[in-house]
Structures are given as structure tokens and as C-alpha cells.
Amino acid sequence: MKQVAFIIVLIWGLGATATTGSVLGSALNPATGEELYACNARIRSQSATTEQICVDLRTGGTCDPARVSPTDGPCQCYAKEMIGNQIVATGGDGKIRAIHSTSQWQQFTASDSLFSGRLNSLEAELGSEILGAEYGLTYCYKGPFATEGIDRSLGQYLVDFTLQGSAYAVALDSVNIKYACDLRNRGQSAAARKPTSNPNYDDLYADFQREENIYRRVDDKSPREIGYQQVRLSLNQVAHEVPRFCVIEVRFKERSGKDLKRDKSGATSFQGSLAVYQGSL
């Protein structure tokens, strides 16, 4: 199997106040024009109670949304157990941005412009007292250009995801991977990807899509460790339908409930990887 895109690595560690997940990596293959990079992330948290706290996003202090002056920062209210759940990213411009969890999805990039949302790093920080966070890490894949003569870009393309961890499995309810691809010779786009072409978002989700469960907690007797998990899935079904653009999301969902407290003292090791290959199952 020939690797056509570098692996993006996910590493989690548990600190004194937060569970932190770091995602690093961007892959470029100059010979084929392929790219694989983090392009978005989103987060939300389920509320187990109605108790809220309002935070000045500029200072981090508490605030009253009914008494915000023009010189104050934005006053955002959250369910109390959501405080501390956020994703921090470094954009392609080097600027650091953050999204804070609410009951609705919060994300960095609008869905219709994902491929312009290149992120150099992602860090999920889960510091709430109560479990219930759900977050998705999104990757954009730009497929290969067609080669002259014998088109060596033709073939089957695969996405490969691995996951393994300990302790965090107590909090984790499920992990899913979902992707959608815009393919050559399928739908409205027959031509190979051009260097200056941009994905048609409607076509992207019309050509080929799939969702697969990677891990699911069974019950309270489930082990504290997540054994080595690996899924290898096809991005296309026939050789001439080469992926032009793909969006891949890995979604993590915690257990929820007001009695499920986050264990901040246990040792956690949690890691995985994501790669795209040209080869065969």
C-alpha cells in the first residue's frame, strides 16, 4: 500500500484542571498535489441542570447580560457545567482563536467554506465539572491531479483511522468517523482536480458519503481502556472515480448526566492517527 498523505496525529493528556486533546499536522505531496489538513472543529455540551453562569469573554469574569455597557466585552451565558469546555486553534495566519461550548454547535469555519479554513493546530480543552461534551475534528483532503500519459492517480483511495487510550474511556460514550467526497466522473464533475479549483459543496455531499462507529461504550462494566481500534474505509468505489475533495470528521461524544463527574485525578493516555492512502483494502 502506497501512502499518499502524511499521517495527522492526535494526542490527549489529562492535566490538573482539564482534559486536553492536541491535533497537529498538515500533509502535502508535491508530486500529486494532494493535501490533508485540519480545516474546522466544533463543540457543544449537554446541560444536565438549568443553573447558568454568564462570563465576560474579554476578561473572563462574571457578568450580567442585562447590564452590559459599550466598554464591556461580550457577555455569554452557559449552563454551569459547560464552563471550561472549549477548543483552541491556531489558524493558517498564525492567530490563536477559541470557541466555547454551548448547547448549540459552535465552530470555527462556516460549512460552505471549509476548504479555506486551514488550521495549523487544534486543542480541545475539557475542564467542566460534569461530563457531556461532544466535539468534532474536521479534516479537508484535496485529491490528486491527473498525470499525463498513464494516469497514475487512478485507483482506490482509503481513509485510515486508529485510536487507543486509557482512563478517558470511563467518560467516553462513542467515537464516530464520517466523510463525504466529491469524485471525478460522478455527479456534475467529471474532470480531475485543477490547481486553482475549489470544491462545490453541494456536489461534495452528493457523490459518496459514509459514517462508521469506531468505539461505543456498552455499560458501566466497560473497561477503563480503549483497546487498539482501527478502521480502514474506501473513499471511492471504482478506480476512475478518484476523490477530488473530501471532508472527514471524527466526532467524540462523552457520557452525560448530572451525576457523572469528570475525574481530574486519574491518569489518561489517549492517542490516534488519521491518514489517506492509495491502495486496496
Other beta carbons within 10 angstroms of residue 226's beta carbon come to: 22
Q: Residue 1: pLDDT band by 50, 70, 90 thresholds?
A: very low
Specify the 3-state DSSP secondary structure of 128: coil
Q: What is the pLDDT of residues 191-234, one digit of tens each?
A: 888 887 777 766 777 788 999 998 888 777 777 778 888 899 99
Percent of the chain with pLDDT over 90: 23
Report the sign of the C-alpha dihedral through residues 246, 94, 121, 250, in that order. negative
Greater pLDDT, 5 or 137: 137
Q: What is the pLDDT of residues 151-194, one digit of tens each?
A: 999 999 999 998 887 767 778 888 999 999 999 998 877 888 88
Other beta carbons within 10 angstroms of residue 67's beta carbon come to: 8
CA distance 33 to 196: 11
Q: How far from the centroid of its chain's Cα atoms is residue 247's Cα?
A: 10
**What residue type is assigned to position 41 of the chain?**
A
User: The C-alpha cell of 274 is what?
Assistant: 488519521
CA distance 274 to 153: 21
Q: How far from the centroid of its chain's Cα atoms is residue 7's Cα?
A: 14
For residue 242, is pLDDT > 90? yes
Cβ atoms of residues 266 and 221 within 8 Å: no
What is the model's pTM? Answer: 0.82
| DSSP E strand boundaries for the chain | 2-3, 8-14, 19-24, 26-29, 34-45, 52-56, 75-79, 85-91, 96-100, 106-107, 119-126, 133-142, 157-166, 172-183, 208-216, 225-234, 243-254, 269-278
